[in-house]
Amino acid sequence: MTSEAMKAVAKRTLGLIDLTNLNDDCTPSDIEKLVARATCEHGSVAAICIYPQFIKQAAELLKSSPVRIATVVNFPQGGEDTLAVVEQTRQAVADGADEIDLVMPYKAFAAGRRGFAEDQIKKVRDAIPAPAQLKVILETGELKDPRLIHLASEIAIAQGADFIKTSTGKVAVNATLDAAEIMLNVLRETSVENHRQVGFKPAGGIRSLDDAKAYLDLADELMGQNWVSAATFRFGASGLLDAVISGIEGHEEESKEAY
d(CA 58, CA 138): 26
d(CA 255, CA 149): 30
Helices and strands, counts by H and E, the chain: 11, 10
Catalytic residue check, 7: no
- Reported as type and span, the H/E element at residue 71 is strand 68-73
Which listed residue (18, 98, 162, 201) is catalytic? 201
Sign of the Cα pseudo-torsion (238, 157, 153, 184, in order)? negative
Which listed residue (18, 101, 162, 242) is catalytic? 101
d(CA 61, CA 232): 25
d(CA 193, CA 87): 31
Catalytic residue check, 122: no
Which listed residue (18, 98, 135, 165) is catalytic? 165
d(CA 136, CA 2): 36
Q: Are strands 39-40 and 43-44 parallel, antiparallel or unpaired?
A: antiparallel
| Backbone angles phi and psi of 165, in degrees to 5 | -125, 140
Catalytic residue check, 56: no
**Range 55-61 contact pairs with CB under 8 angstroms and sequence separation of 24 or more:** 55/92, 55/95, 55/96, 55/97, 56/95, 56/96, 57/28, 57/31, 57/32, 58/31, 58/34, 58/96, 59/95, 59/96, 61/31, 61/32, 61/35
List the one residue out of 18, 6, 35 whose CA is nearest residue 249. 6
d(CA 254, CA 208): 6
Annotated catalytic residues are 101, 165, 201
